[in-house]
């Protein structure tokens, strides 16, 4: 699964939002997402394997946090992609305005 497919899934987007600024255990994510423990764990495993979240042990708990460095290349790609598309759209709008 490529990075775009991975983050296109709404539940994984929500997981990333939740762990963006907070380090959360799976149980907290389960409660907030209304998903099963197994379901949240599967989503987290995919995000971890892609380098989008980190995990650390705290006693018996596993705490997850977004890995901003891991998300950096995807963010850079999307910014570049949309900047070029918006620049092209602006050029087309200017051409249409000049053509009257």
**For the chain, which residues make up each domain, given as ranges?**
3-99
Which whole number is the average pLDDT over 72-94?
Answer: 75
pLDDT band at 69 (very low <50, low <70, confident <90, very high): confident
Q: Which of these, 46, 37, 56, 55, lies nearest to 13 by C-alpha position?
A: 46
Across the chain, the runs of DSSP E, i.e. the strands, are 24-25, 53-58, 61-66
pLDDT band at 12 (very low <50, low <70, confident <90, very high): very high
Residue 79 has pLDDT above 80, yes or no: no
The CATH architecture that domain 3-99 belongs to is: Orthogonal Bundle (1.10)
Which whole number is the average pLDDT over 66-93?
Answer: 75
Q: For residues 5 and 7, what is the distance between their CA atoms, to the nearest angstrom?
A: 6
Residue 53 near residue 65, CB atoms below 8 Å: yes
**pLDDT, tens only, 19-68:** 999 999 999 999 999 899 999 999 999 999 998 999 999 999 999 999 87
């Amino acid at each position: 699964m490529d990075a775009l497919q991975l983050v296109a899934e709404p539940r994984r987007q929500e997981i990333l939002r939740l762990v963006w600024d907070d380090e959360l255990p799976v149980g907290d994510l389960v409660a907030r997402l209304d998903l099963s423990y197994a379901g949240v764990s599967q989503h987290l495993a995919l995000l971890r394997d892609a380098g989008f979240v980190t995990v650390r042990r705290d006693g018996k708990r596993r705490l997850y946090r977004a890995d901003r460095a891991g998300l950096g290349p995807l963010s850079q790609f999307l910014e570049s992609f949309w900047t070029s598309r918006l620049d092209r759209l602006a050029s087309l709008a200017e051409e249409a305005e000049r053509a009257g």
